[in-house]
Amino acid sequence: MTAAWEPTTAGVLRLPSGRLVRGRGLRRSLPQGQRPTFALYLLGRRPPEVAWESRWLRWPDFWLPSDRAATVDALREAWARAGAERVEIACAGGHGRTGTALACLAVLDGVPRGEAVAYVRENYAPRAVETPWQRRFVSRFPSGVGRSRGSSPP
């Protein structure tokens, strides 16, 4: 079992279940300290190779992911892995796409869809989830896997 993020690490969002996920912008240098064990990169183009396991979702800047089903699957994987691993969610700037994905993780973690954007803005970054269609994406995100808040997926 891999250790989780240090809770004081820059960009780390604590979900209500206690899971820790780091959001960041890839335009900035990789922060010092702990490295992710799994990363989900949300970009219009394939990201460069990294030394840890990663998954890429084609997601153009200011828009929505190209493949909704793949996005739901990848975010469920990221949420599940965050229970025992250092998961990073990142786009170029670290606000719009990253904030949208973090809000979807909050929904998977039990935050009501209508409150997830506010939760991420309060606990991650005030500018998270930049466009009306990103907010709508969160409001329609499948809320779960038939579980109560804080439990593991089946």
What is the set of domains in the chain, with CATH numbers? 15-139 (3.90.190.10)
The Cα-based distances of 49 to 1, 53, 66 in angstroms read 24, 9, 21
C-alpha–C-alpha distance, residues 121 and 107, integer Å: 14
CB environment 17-44: b (16+ within 10 A), e (fewer): bebbbbbbbbeeeeeeebebbbbbbbbe
Q: What is the pLDDT of residue 141?
A: 95
**Residue 140: per-residue pLDDT:** 93
Q: How far is CA 44 from the centre of its chain?
A: 16
pLDDT > 70: percent of the chain? 92
Q: Which residues of the chain have pLDDT under 70?
A: 1-2, 144-154
Q: 64-107 pLDDT, tens per residue?
A: 998 999 999 999 999 999 999 999 999 999 999 999 999 999 99
Contact residues for 80 (Cβ-Cβ < 8 A; gap 6+): 152, 153
- Residue 147's pLDDT is what? 41
What residues contact residue 98 under an 8 Å CB cut-off, 6+ apart? 23, 24, 25, 42, 89, 90, 91, 128
User: Can you give the pLDDT at residue 134?
Assistant: 96
Strands 20-25 and 12-14: antiparallel
